[in-house]
Amino acid sequence: MGPWLLAVESATAIVSVALMRGGDCVASRRGDPARPAAETLLPSIQALLEEAEVRVADLDAYAVSIGPGSFTSLRIGLATVKGLAFGSDRPAVAVPTLAVLAASAPPGEGLPVPMLDARRGEVYAAAYAADASTPDPRLPLGVYGPEALEAALPPQCRLLGEGAAVCGAALREALGEGVTLLPELAPRAECLGALGMAALERGQGTDPALLAPWYLRRAQAEVLRTGEAWEAPPANAPQARR
């Protein structure tokens, strides 16, 4: 049947969790976007495990979305996984949130380009292969404005997630009707779980205690304190374009 894996997606307002067995999603739950992750995440996990009649001790691994995304929600998701795994030898897999968002897209034509709102008229964005397993070199994960995206993207692409509402209209006007906008799409824990399982099979699990969020852009208070606007990726995250 394969190992049990708990996937925790908390990078955006729509928190979700999923329980995987091998390559199959046994059960999943989505939180109320009107309520913060601190209120919904643990109850969702508890309900999920009870539904599947699985104990925390039965879990073999974890997968967690590491960002970019909401500073607070990402910390809550990582802290929850670390707490559940504490004292065990169960590995965890860190998956970039934009990869999860790309994997959450329905089938369609065009290059998948997941986007999250980075404020200031910019987006966190990347491009991925159709199965979301491989980053596309045309658009490495980074922070982009509309002009940079226009220069990098092909005429046929799908803009996925909340960031499509930030610059999607401008890109469609510049690139043409081959640009598809899916601004309501959110990353789904079951897709995170599938990516996590594949990473585990490649030997990419790590000690949960070593997990760290990847905000990419530092909070303004950190910029003032350090003088650095960009955050170096954790050891388990891919390199990014700034």
Report whether pLDDT(225) > 70.
no
DSSP code of residue 218 = P
- Confidence at 240, pLDDT banded by 50, 70, 90: very low
Per-residue pLDDT tens over the stretch 16-66: 999 999 889 999 999 888 898 989 999 999 999 999 999 999 999 999 999
Please give the backbone phi and psi of residue 109, each rounded to the nearest 5 degrees, phi first. Answer: -90, 145
Whether the ω angle into residue 68 lies within 30 degrees of 0, i.e. cis, is yes
Per-residue pLDDT tens over the stretch 136-148: 888 999 999 999 9
Question: What are the structure tokens assigned to 135, written together?
Answer: 């980053």
When the pLDDT of each residue in the chain is averaged and rounded to a whole number, the result is 89
Residue range 76-81: average pLDDT?
96
Four-way CATH pick for 105-182: 3.90.1170.30, 3.30.420.40, 3.30.70.1520, 3.40.50.300: 3.30.420.40
Are both 4-97+187-226 and 105-182 of the same fold? yes
Report whether pLDDT(224) > 50.
no
For the chain, domain boundaries: 4-97+187-226, 105-182
> b/e for 49-67, b at 16 or more Cβ within 10 A?
beeeebeeeebbbbbbbbb
Lowest-pLDDT choice from 31-40, 105-114, 159-168, 186-195: 31-40
What's the CATH architecture for 4-97+187-226? 2-Layer Sandwich (3.30)
Q: How far apart, in whole angstroms, are the C-alpha atoms of residue 204 and residue 240?
A: 19
Report whether pLDDT(114) > 80.
yes
- For position 2, what pLDDT does the model report? 86
pTM over 0.95: no
Q: How many CA atoms lie within 13 A of 137 on its CB side?
A: 0
Please give the backbone phi and psi of residue 30, each rounded to the nearest 5 degrees, phi first. Answer: -120, 135
